[in-house]
Amino acid sequence: MSSAPACCSPCSWSASAPVPDLSRTPVEQRALDLEKTADWYRRFRLFETPGQSGLYADWAGGVEDDAEVLALIIALPRPKRQPNLVFACARLLGAPLAGYPVFRRWLLEHWPAVAAEALVRATQTNEPRRLTAVMPILASIGPRVALIEVGASAGLCLYPDRYSYDYSGRRVDPADGPSPVLLPAETTGPVPLPEHPPKVLWRAGLDLNPLDVHDPEDVRWLETLVWPEQAERRRRLDAAISIVRRDPPLLVRGDAAHDLEALVARAPAGVPLVIVSPAVLVYLAPEQRAAFADAVTGFGRWISLDGVGVLPRVDALLPETPVPGDFTVSLDGRPLARCGAHGQTLDWFAG
């Protein structure tokens, strides 16, 4: 993709630093930062953790009411304050998977190391299950496509043709047979499923800090971004990494605002080019999101997966008023379905 959807890479564009409000005193600004950060953790607890991680819900609930811990967190740059990043950095450094009082003691003792880690890390969650929402749309574009992912992390979402899918009992396998990676989604509505996933003839990703599936430290970070109780998700991640290691994609270090056009120019002619941005635009300032949406459809077809409020023009076209926690998958700015942040559900409403 959220905090940022559990899940996403913020490394496709450079998020601009917030402009300070010079009308506020430092004391007023600090109070506002504390309030907004507490609300961030509250929303993370309410809208992202249910059914996903009781431990993260407990930690987030503790942080939102803990002035001492919040004061440490707001010393970080705003993009680094997000719950998923702080919690993952703590776990990477050995935080105990225990209730908030134990976690809090550990966090206060190890905060300098956690903060240093957060400054050089990003939530590059690479969740292939999001492809349950993307694959049917890809198939509607054509049986063969070229694919670019913005915020690609390690590139695991660049392989929709190498994975199997289960849509509430309706199975879609690659043309050469079932994959060791099975991506399930509970579905409602008339999801248009192909016989097989479309063939990806060329695949490439853009990221400020691409991760290498052959680098043990990069793989360890990807694994740490999987939430504590999600053993099945961890198994899917490991199986997807095995597939990508056998045929690594082209991953380009760069900023989508400046480097996407050059990558588009490398795509083969004669095949539809599709650009995907799954749960990544949340990391951009609103004006950057609008600029990206205006530019990207000039390069090819555009599939995006975003939370409520990220793309207001998409939200305005929804058949029902969205609620916090909803995600929408869209094609060229037109919403087609609601989906889970990790692709676990797909509610298709497009005709």
Residue 125 has pLDDT above 90, yes or no: no
Q: Pick from 120, 148, 165: which residue ends a domain?
A: 120
| Confidence category of residue 24, pLDDT binned at 50, 70, 90 | confident
Residue 11 has pLDDT above 70, yes or no: no
- Alpha-carbon distance of 8 to 15, in angstroms, equals 14
Signed CA dihedral, 231, 83, 309, 291: sign only: negative
- Note whether 285 and 136 are same-domain residues: yes
- Alpha-carbon distance of 299 to 148, in angstroms, equals 11
- Note whether 158 and 86 are same-domain residues: no
8, part of any domain: no
pLDDT in tens, 211-248: 999 999 999 999 999 999 999 999 999 999 999 999 99
Residues 6 or more apart whose CB falls under 8 angstroms from that of 45 comprise 56, 57, 60, 61, 64
Runs of H (alpha helix) within 142-267: 216-224, 231-246, 256-264
Q: How far is CA 94 from the centre of its chain?
A: 24
pLDDT of residue 283: 81
- Alpha-carbon distance of 38 to 70, in angstroms, equals 7
- For residue 258, the number of C-alpha atoms closer than 13 Å in the C-beta half-sphere is 7
pLDDT of residue 153: 95
pLDDT of residue 247: 96
Q: Pick from 120, 140, 168: which residue ends a domain?
A: 120
Element (H, E) at 42: helix 26-43
- Note whether 115 and 158 are same-domain residues: no
Count of other CB atoms within 10 angstroms of residue 308: 19
User: How far is residue 303 from each of residues 84, 274, 328, measured CA to CA in Å?
Assistant: 24, 7, 10
Please state whether the predicted TM-score (pTM) of the whole model is above 0.85. yes
Put the strands of the sheet holding 334-339 in their side by side order.
170-172, 164-167, 182-188, 345-348, 334-339, 327-331, 301-307, 273-278, 144-150, 199-207, 250-253
Q: Pick from 91, 120, 149: which residue ends a domain?
A: 120
311, part of any domain: yes
166, part of any domain: yes
Whether the Cβ atoms of residue 6 and residue 227 lie closer than 8 Å to each other: yes
Q: With pLDDT > 90 as the criterion, what percentage of the chain qualifies?
A: 83
- Alpha-carbon distance of 107 to 100, in angstroms, equals 10
- Note whether 47 and 145 are same-domain residues: no
17, part of any domain: no
Residues 6 or more apart whose CB falls under 8 angstroms from that of 321 comprise none
- Note whether 41 and 171 are same-domain residues: no
pLDDT of residue 282: 87
15, part of any domain: no
| Confidence category of residue 22, pLDDT binned at 50, 70, 90 | low
Residue 36 has pLDDT above 60, yes or no: yes
Q: With pLDDT > 70 as the criterion, what percentage of the chain qualifies?
A: 93
Residue 2 has pLDDT above 60, yes or no: no
183, part of any domain: yes
User: How far is residue 163 from each of residues 65, 119, 171, 175, 236, measured CA to CA in Å?
Assistant: 42, 34, 11, 10, 10
pLDDT in tens, 48-85: 899 899 999 999 999 999 999 999 999 999 999 999 99
Q: Is 270 left (phi over 0), alpha (psi -120 to 50) or beta?
A: left
CATH number, domain of 255, equals 3.40.50
pLDDT of residue 310: 94
- Note whether 240 and 319 are same-domain residues: yes
With residues binned 3-state (H G I as helix, E B as strand, rest as coil), the percentages for the chain, rounded to 5, are: 40, 20, 40
pLDDT in tens, 301-342: 999 999 999 999 999 999 998 888 889 999 999 999 999 989
Domain that holds residue 305: 128-348
Please tell me the total number of residues recorded for the chain in this structure: 351
Higher pLDDT: 123 or 304? It is 304
